[in-house]
């Protein structure tokens, strides 16, 4: 608990660049406690990253000095060696101070949980690769703690891509601007994720969680190589977004575009790439997903200083928020229960109200998950049939045509509604009472069933109809609307 509180206080001081308060918090960490030392080193490294982004040289120096005072090259673990070396290089750019802290590569375990969305697990590999590349030391091939297999091979391939990007970042830090083979390296880095999820090992689904931060690191590495390389990356990614859209969800595009903008990419190509993905932005999402996409798009436009486009997507978010979200997707069915009461109380307005609810079944199917739309369609059909058999048959035909109900449950509801109604005493009276042209009873049911209805035989007449061997008449019941 104490370490958690200290971590929260330290991160707040880092966010506000209050280095005096951060120094006071450092003194609360127990030097003899190894978990406390590791946490403090992580916080120092986070502070260093923040200072790099803001060009705070004084902060970088203070963080490197604190790390040197807490750790010794003879007693520190390999991971601690690498983080201290990275802090020293960020503060001094002196490779002679860094070399004594350079440690062997850290083994990456393959049994890691799937909820991680950052590259923290691979951070030692990235630091080691960059520093070795700067010092001219060979970078060993990555390896994992498990034996060879499809899962480990995919993880090895991912680490090789990270090594290539870390070396690219080292070239940029060395001052090698304008990489000659940059386009080929970009193609290899992006196409790592161009694969079908089918027949992939379990580690593929874990690596998918890292896709966003992976491409953010790609942008960071290329940005080290200068504005020309960053412009080339922007143009290349814009082409990939359009040519391979199936591998670039809109949320992923926004994350990459925000990273490009944060590193100084021009706004015009970023705005064009952002606008190109808006046509199908909301397709396939429920209300909650649509709202999230609209807000994400508005935030991206606001970042690009386009307040008009941001306001448009904020207004769209407000419109999309009026609907049935998946966590309350059976709310529509509750409204239908009230509709059944209204139909009984005010039959003159029943047709209009039923049509209004029927018109919203298709949108409900598009924005909800599970069986919400189907259950609502079944409930609406049942209450319509209970009110008016002819109107119910029209609705039944429409629901089948719109693929809102399968044939079997729809017909079962129709039979149940018919069996629940008392058949007319004579067909003449039935014809006169039917508000549509022709006699529904004569035209829909076979002669045997119609005569049976006129005699008002006991028992369920729908079951009698099935027992008499008339399954061929099922399609005929809905062949033509009344």
Interval 66-102: pLDDT, tens:
888 888 888 888 888 888 999 999 888 888 888 888 8
As a whole number of angstroms, the distance between CA 437 and CA 431 comes to 9
Taking a C-beta distance cutoff of 8 angstroms, is the pair 270, 303 a contact? no
Minimum mean pLDDT range among 351-360, 382-391, 425-434, 444-453? 444-453
Taking a C-beta distance cutoff of 8 angstroms, is the pair 410, 381 a contact? yes
User: What is the pLDDT, as a whole number, of residue 362?
Assistant: 85
* pTM: predicted TM-score of the whole model, two decimal places: 0.68
Whether residue 331 is predicted with pLDDT greater than 80 in this model: the reply is: no
Minimum mean pLDDT range among 195-199, 285-289, 459-463? 459-463
H-helix or E-strand spanning residue 260:
helix 250-262
- As to burial, measured by CB atoms within 10 angstroms (0-12 exposed, 13-18 middle, 19+ buried), residue 468 is exposed
User: What is the pLDDT, as a whole number, of residue 433?
Assistant: 45
- Percent with pLDDT over 90 in the chain: 26
User: What is the pLDDT, as a whole number, of residue 384?
Assistant: 92
Q: How many CB atoms lie within 10 A of CB 380?
A: 25
Q: How many CB atoms lie within 10 A of CB 205?
A: 11
Max CA distance (Å), the chain: 106
**DSSP secondary structure of 129-170:** HHHHHHHT---PPP-BSS-SSHHHHHHHHHHHHHHHHHHHHH
Whether residue 465 is predicted with pLDDT greater than 50 in this model: the reply is: no
Average predicted confidence (pLDDT) for the chain: 80
What is the per-residue pLDDT across 374-414, written as a single tens digit (0 to 9) for each?
888 999 999 999 999 889 989 998 999 898 988 888 888 88
Average pLDDT over residues 254-282: 90
Minimum mean pLDDT range among 191-195, 233-237, 367-371, 386-390? 367-371
Token pair belonging to 441: 């009873």
User: What is the pLDDT, as a whole number, of residue 435?
Assistant: 42
User: What is the pLDDT, as a whole number, of residue 195?
Assistant: 85
């Amino acid at each position: 608990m104490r370490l958690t509180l200290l971590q929260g206080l330290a991160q707040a001081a880092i966010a506000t660049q209050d280095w005096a308060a951060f120094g006071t918090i450092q003194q609360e960490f127990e030097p003899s406690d190894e978990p406390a030392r590791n946490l403090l080193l992580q916080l120092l490294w986070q502070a260093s990253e923040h200072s790099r982004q803001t060009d705070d040289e004084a902060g970088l120096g203070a963080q490197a000095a604190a790390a040197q005072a807490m750790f010794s090259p003879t007693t520190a673990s390999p991971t601690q060696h690498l983080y201290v070396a990275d802090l020293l290089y960020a503060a001094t750019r002196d490779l002679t101070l860094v070399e004594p802290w350079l440690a062997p590569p850290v083994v990456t375990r393959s049994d890691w949980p799937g909820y991680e969305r950052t590259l923290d697990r691979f951070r030692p590999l990235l630091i080691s690769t960059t520093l070795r590349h700067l010092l001219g030391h060979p970078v060993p091939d990555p390896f994992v703690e498990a034996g060879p297999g499809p899962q480990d091979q995919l993880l090895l391939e991912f680490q090789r891509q990270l090594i290539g990007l870390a070396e690219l970042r080292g070239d940029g830090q060395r001052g090698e601007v304008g990489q000659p083979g940059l386009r080929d390296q970009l193609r290899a880095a992006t196409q790592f994720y161009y694969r079908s999820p089918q027949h992939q090992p379990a580690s593929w689904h874990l690596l998918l969680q890292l896709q966003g931060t992976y491409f953010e690191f790609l942008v960071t590495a290329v940005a080290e190589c200068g504005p020309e390389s960053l412009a080339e990356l922007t143009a290349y990614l814009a082409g990939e977004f359009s040519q391979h859209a199936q591998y670039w969800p809109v949320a992923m595009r926004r994350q990459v575009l925000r990273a490009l903008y944060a590193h100084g990419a021009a706004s015009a190509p970023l705005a064009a790439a952002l606008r190109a993905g808006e046509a199908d932005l909301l397709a396939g999402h429920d209300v909650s997903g649509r709202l999230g996409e609209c807000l994400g798009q508005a935030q991206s436009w606001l970042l690009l200083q386009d307040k008009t486009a941001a306001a448009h997507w904020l207004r769209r978010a407000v419109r999309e928020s009026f609907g049935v979200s998946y966590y309350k997707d059976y709310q529509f069915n509750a409204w239908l229960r009230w509709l059944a009461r209204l139909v009984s109380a005010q039959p003159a307005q029943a047709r209009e109200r039923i049509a209004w609810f029927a018109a919203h079944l298709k949108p409900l199917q598009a924005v909800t998950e599970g069986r919400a739309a189907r259950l609502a369609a079944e409930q609406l059909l049942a209450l319509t049939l209970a009110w008016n058999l002819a109107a119910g048959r029209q609705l039944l035909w429409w629901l089948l045509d719109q693929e809102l109900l399968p044939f079997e449950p729809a017909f079962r509801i129709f039979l149940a509604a018919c069996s629940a109604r008392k058949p007319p005493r004579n067909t003449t009276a039935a014809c006169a009472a039917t508000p549509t042209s022709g006699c529904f009873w004569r035209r829909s049911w076979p002669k045997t069933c119609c005569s049976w209805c006129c005699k008002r035989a006991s028992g369920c007449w729908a079951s009698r109809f099935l027992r008499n061997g008339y399954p061929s008449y099922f399609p005929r019941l809905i062949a033509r609307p009344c």
